[in-house]
Amino acid sequence: MDKKILLIYTGGTIGMVPTEAGYAPKAGYLQSFLESIPALSDPSMPKWELLELCPLLDSSNMTVLDWNRIGRIIEEHYDAFDGFVILHGTDTMAYTASALSFSLENLDKPVVITGSQIPLFEVRNDGLDNLLTSMLIAAEGRVHEVALCFSNKLMRGNRSVKTSATDLYAFSSPNYPALADIGTRILYNNMIPPRKVEGPFRVQELKKIPIGIIKVFPGIQFELFEEIMSESLKGIVLETFGAGNIPGTADAILPIVRKARENGTVLVICSQCLKGSVSLGTYETSAALKEAGAVCAYDMTTEAAVAKLYYLFSCGYDAETVKAKMEEDLVGELSK
Ligand code: ASP
């Protein structure tokens, strides 16, 4: 195949080696390991080059600055390659996929993010299949967005969630159909319209915006969270029950709502349910949030909501504009 793809290894199980402290990534190891795999030099496969992040990271340690480093690599090599495969740890893969789906503006080439639950060096592993399939998808050029490929499913990156710490089938896309079903052939979903590209490709630098997540639970005392609602806090994602419901009387949430309003903090309402959508005002228990002008995340994942807050504030929008854009579908991350 005369297509050329860039593999970007960020760290993560797929390329890790055993150490006394457990699996850890090792600089330089993956290049020689991949060169020893005959399938990767088969004529049916695209040509590839590998770049590694320095330092390599367990994805639990990744921050917005690492998302920027990945973005810059893609930007620098955008014209020279047909597609990109990011080899990444599974723990925060859905966050990275979501963040890149926003920051890689006007993306017109495949960016496929993958990894594995068992490292490639183990005889029985899921990494080789994930890698080969991702490379083929990146070379075929049928997707023009950030997609997550894992265990024979191709998902929209900003719709994916890690749903198992141990199953090889580790990711799901509960609110959006698969971009492709991968069996004996790779069958792309033709019902999904291609994304609109409205200008030249560019990468929006993300900033370390102070944001937080609060997960509600029976008996939560909202007043305890008042202290963290400082002026510097730009956004809070509230993970609520079901369709956006919170426990307690309408007054219970007031300390948070009042502080958010005073400080210009954007309050985003997501659901703890993986499937379905937030619908504020359907129940009395979400009416206070609706009245307070909280942002409805609809069926957005928490990962996408967090990434979108980072992105919108990094673009320099004021709180009112961020609120409005949080409820808009920017890159396929939500449906109403
Ligand atoms: N802790 C690892 C990581 O996310 C887990 C994995 O790659 O599966 O980097």
The torsion region of residue 262 among left (phi > 0), alpha (psi -120 to 50) and beta comes to: alpha
Task: Judge if 4-203 and 211-326 fold alike in CATH terms.
Answer: yes
- Determine the pLDDT at residue 142: 94
Q: Which helix (H) or strand (E) holds 61?
A: none
- Determine the pLDDT at residue 257: 85
| Ligand 1 near 286 CB (within 6 A) | no
- Determine the pLDDT at residue 78: 98
Q: Is 114 a catalytic residue?
A: no
**Ligand 1, atom nearest to 93 Cα:** 4
| Ligand 1 near 12 CB (within 6 A) | yes
**What DSSP assignment string belongs to 198-227?**
-S--EEPPP----EEEEE--TT--GGGGGG
| Ligand 1 near 13 CB (within 6 A) | yes
Residue 191, SS3? Answer: coil
- Determine the pLDDT at residue 288: 83
**Ligand 1, atom nearest to 13 Cα:** 7
Q: Which residue has the tokens 């409805």?
A: 296
**Ligand 1, atom nearest to 25 Cα:** 9
For residue 260, with 0-12 CB atoms within 10 Å meaning exposed, 13-18 middle and 19 or more buried, which class applies? buried
Looking at the domain 211-326, which fold is it?
Rossmann fold (3.40.50)
4-203 to CATH, choices 3.10.129.10, 3.30.465.10, 3.40.50.1170, 3.40.50.10860: 3.40.50.1170
Closest C-alpha residue for ligand 1 atom 8: 90
**Are 247 and 215 a contacting pair, CB within 8 Å?**
no
Domain positions in the chain are: 4-203, 211-326
How far, in Å, is the centroid of ligand 1 from the Cα of 17? 12
Query: Ligand 1 pocket test: which of 23, 66, 90, 122 has the largest number of ligand atoms within 8 Å of its C-beta?
Result: 90
Q: Per-residue pLDDT tens, the chain, 336 aa: give them.
A: 799 999 999 999 999 999 999 899 999 999 999 999 999 999 999 999 999 999 999 999 999 999 999 999 999 999 999 999 999 999 999 999 999 999 999 999 999 999 999 999 999 999 999 999 999 999 999 999 999 999 999 999 999 999 999 999 999 999 999 999 999 999 999 888 777 888 999 999 999 999 999 999 999 998 898 888 999 999 999 999 999 998 887 788 888 888 898 899 999 999 999 999 999 888 877 888 888 889 999 999 999 999 999 999 999 999 999 999 999 999 999 999
- Determine the pLDDT at residue 293: 85
How far, in Å, is the centroid of ligand 1 from the Cα of 12? 4
